[in-house]
């Protein structure tokens, strides 16, 4: 093989090996994006969906790499993807909501409460739970408006709806009405959990189908159901799967694929045979005729879905996982709720259905937070620009659906009612602190005699007048960002 370069160059040792071409740290199938930077958007949209999400994860890593060239290209590409999805990366500072408030937003969304550990409950609540009451308390003695933390909870319609049951649970347990003044959010959760739980890990204090999440999905189907159906059909998904999902979302407000029952939409010879075997009159039915939705629902509700399960030509069951797995995304950051009012976090006009991979690998990829202290935090987040976007299952324009969910009488009525119940967490906390001092003083003698040792430590020494110290020692599970 002829050596490279002239003899002279070789003599002076200036011919070196041709520099190796720098390859981007991505799988080879994505090299082209870094070699040729023109027409990125078009080429990106031509990728398979999984590849798009994968490429984004590489771009995200590269955008903060030390290699300036790749970092710049990647950042520019990410910006182009944001343009495709009509999103904007935003940075700023904000005042975080309290952990209690965060928990309430979750409970409101799912309509459920999980079991509390005993050590999560306040000492006073536990004391009042075990206290033998000398007089019988009446239902009307339980004034929830006297409870600072109930007022925090009652900002949500879900909790206002169960207020009578909460009162009844307190009455049945004959808890001293003074306890209401010093009950924390966790204490109420314990009470509600016990009042509503069956033998489950979580109690649905609102019927699952009536939870904010499920109602949102049902409303989505009401407003955008036809477009959603067409969108999935256009994606080439088996019509039987699409119909089953739409039906489930419409009826139950659930898009859980793992419990989705995909049935035939038209009678097949096998279905007719099975129905006949099960005792149904199939005399007037023929293969190819549509199965009425009511009949499908009837069979599914009665556990007879096996008779009409959708099958492929080889007899195997149709796979529902060709459908997009949808998750509910809070289009408006939950952490900003305080800027408006807490209950608004779960309003249907702030929720968006997003395909799971995209939700995880795109919308939440850019979240970050640098805490300065408990009151001031810096954040970054990917915001959805179009407030009417209600669904996104891909990166192209056609993969999104829009709807105006706030323009209804029910929505306006609920928003007005929520505004009336709006309270400031800090103010409620201060009220709670004052109540603790009052209750500690009122029951001081009793606590000295019967109270737990931990509580005794916190009692004021006679004449000390150091009330602030008491609260500091006693207060728990109530601080902003404190557990």
Distance from C-alpha of 76 to C-alpha of 114, rounded to nearest angstrom? 44
Which residue do the tokens 């939705």 mark? 293
Per-residue burial over 427-445, b if 16 or more Cβ lie within 10 Å, else e, is ebbebbbebbbebbeebee
Sole window of 40-48, 103-111, 225-233, 305-313 interacting with another protein (rule: CB under 8 A):
103-111
105 lies in the binding site for another protein (CB under 8 A): yes
Q: Which residue in 6, 37, 312, 368 binds another protein (CB under 8 A)?
A: 368
Which residue in 247, 288, 107 sits closest to 190, CA to CA?
A: 107
Closest CB to another protein among 105 and 391? 105
301 lies in the binding site for another protein (CB under 8 A): no
483 lies in the binding site for another protein (CB under 8 A): yes
Q: How many residues bind another protein (CB under 8 A)?
A: 45
Distance from C-alpha of 247 to C-alpha of 260, rounded to nearest angstrom? 10
381 lies in the binding site for another protein (CB under 8 A): yes
106 lies in the binding site for another protein (CB under 8 A): yes
322 lies in the binding site for another protein (CB under 8 A): no
> Hey, is 33 helix, strand or coil?
helix
Q: What are the CA-CA distances from residue 283 to residues 16, 276, 287 (Å)?
A: 87, 9, 11
Residues 235-294, interacting with another protein (CB under 8 A):
254-259
Distance from C-alpha of 308 to C-alpha of 306, rounded to nearest angstrom? 6
Tell me, residue by residue from 122 to 161, as one string, x for binding to another protein by CB under 8 A and - for no binding.
Answer: ----------------------------------------
Q: What are the CA-CA distances from residue 87 to residues 62, 80, 107, 228, 363 (Å)?
A: 20, 10, 28, 21, 9
329 lies in the binding site for another protein (CB under 8 A): yes
CB of 200 to another protein, least distance (A): 6
CB of 141 to another protein, least distance (A): 33
CA angle 328, 334, 336 (to 5 degrees): 150
Which residue do the tokens 């408990």 mark? 374
Residues 47-66, interacting with another protein (CB under 8 A):
57
Distance from C-alpha of 92 to C-alpha of 106, rounded to nearest angstrom? 24
367 lies in the binding site for another protein (CB under 8 A): yes
454 lies in the binding site for another protein (CB under 8 A): no
Sign of the C-alpha dihedral computed for residues 287, 291, 295 and 298 taken in this order: positive
CB of 255 to another protein, least distance (A): 8
- For 139, other C-beta atoms within 10 Å of its C-beta total 11
CB of 254 to another protein, least distance (A): 7
Q: Which residue in 193, 379, 395, 425 binds another protein (CB under 8 A)?
A: 379
CB 246 within 8 A of CB 220: no
Residues 174-233, interacting with another protein (CB under 8 A):
200-202, 213
Closest CB to another protein among 163 and 246? 246
Residues 343-362, interacting with another protein (CB under 8 A):
356, 360-361
Sign of the C-alpha dihedral computed for residues 47, 48, 53 and 57 taken in this order: negative
Which residue do the tokens 């005399």 mark? 283
CB of 480 to another protein, least distance (A): 11
Distance from C-alpha of 453 to C-alpha of 459, rounded to nearest angstrom? 10
Closest CB to another protein among 147 and 357? 357
CB 449 within 8 A of CB 189: no
CB of 198 to another protein, least distance (A): 10
335 lies in the binding site for another protein (CB under 8 A): yes
309 lies in the binding site for another protein (CB under 8 A): no
What's the CA dihedral at 134, 138, 143, 146 to 10 degrees? Answer: -10
Q: Which residue in 99, 163, 237, 285 binds another protein (CB under 8 A)?
A: 99
Binding site for another protein (CB under 8 A): 57, 96, 99, 102-103, 105-106, 109-110, 112, 114-115, 117, 200-202, 213, 254-259, 325-330, 333-335, 356, 360-361, 364-365, 367-369, 377, 379, 381, 481, 483
């Amino acid at each position: 093989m002829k050596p490279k370069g002239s003899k002279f160059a070789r003599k002076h040792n200036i011919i070196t090996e041709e520099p190796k071409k720098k390859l981007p740290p991505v799988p080879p199938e994505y090299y082209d994006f870094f070699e040729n930077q023109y027409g990125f958007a078009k080429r990106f949209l031509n990728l398979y969906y999984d590849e798009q999400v994968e490429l984004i994860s590489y771009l995200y890593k590269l955008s903060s790499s030390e290699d300036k060239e790749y970092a710049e290209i990647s950042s520019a590409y990410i910006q182009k993807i944001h343009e495709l999805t009509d999103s904007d990366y935003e940075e700023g500072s904000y005042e975080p909501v309290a952990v209690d408030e965060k928990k309430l937003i979750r409970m409101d969304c799912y309509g459920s409460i999980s079991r509390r550990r005993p050590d999560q409950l306040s000492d006073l609540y536990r004391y009042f739970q075990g206290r033998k009451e000398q007089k019988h308390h009446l239902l009307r003695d339980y004034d929830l408006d006297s409870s600072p933390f109930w007022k925090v909870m009652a900002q949500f319609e879900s909790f206002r709806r169960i207020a009578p049951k909460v009162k009844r649970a307190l009455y049945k347990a004959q808890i001293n009405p003074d306890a209401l003044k010093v009950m924390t959010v966790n204490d109420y959760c314990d009470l509600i959990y016990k009042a509503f739980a069956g033998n489950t890990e979580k109690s649905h204090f609102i019927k699952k189908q009536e939870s904010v999440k499920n109602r949102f999905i049902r409303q989505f189907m009401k407003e955008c159901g036809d477009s959603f159906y067409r969108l999935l059909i256009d994606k080439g998904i088996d019509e039987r799967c699409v119909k089953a999902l739409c039906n489930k979302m419409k009826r139950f407000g659930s898009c859980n694929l793992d419990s989705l029952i995909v049935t035939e939409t038209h009678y097949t010879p096998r279905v007719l045979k099975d129905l006949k075997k099960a005792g149904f009159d199939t005399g007037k039915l023929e293969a190819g005729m549509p199965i009425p939705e009511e009949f499908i629902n009837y069979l599914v509700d009665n556990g007879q879905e096996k008779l009409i399960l959708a099958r492929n030509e080889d007899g195997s069951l149709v796979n529902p996982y060709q459908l997009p797995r949808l998750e509910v995304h809070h289009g408006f950051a939950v952490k900003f709720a305080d800027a408006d009012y807490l209950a608004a976090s779960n309003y249907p006009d702030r929720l968006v259905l997003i395909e799971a991979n995209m939700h995880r690998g795109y919308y939440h990829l850019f979240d970050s937070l640098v805490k300065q202290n408990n009151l001031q935090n810096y954040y970054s987040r990917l915001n959805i620009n179009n407030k009417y976007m209600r669904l996104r299952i891909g990166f192209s324009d056609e993969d999104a659906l829009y709807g105006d969910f706030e323009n209804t009488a029910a929505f306006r009525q609920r928003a007005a009612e929520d505004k009336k119940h709006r309270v400031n967490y800090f103010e409620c906390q201060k009220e709670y602190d004052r109540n603790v001092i009052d209750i500690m003083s009122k029951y001081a003698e009793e606590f000295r005699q019967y109270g737990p040792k931990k509580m005794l430590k916190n009692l004021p020494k006679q004449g000390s007048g150091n009330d602030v110290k008491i609260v500091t020692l006693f207060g728990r599970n109530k601080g902003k960002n404190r557990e």
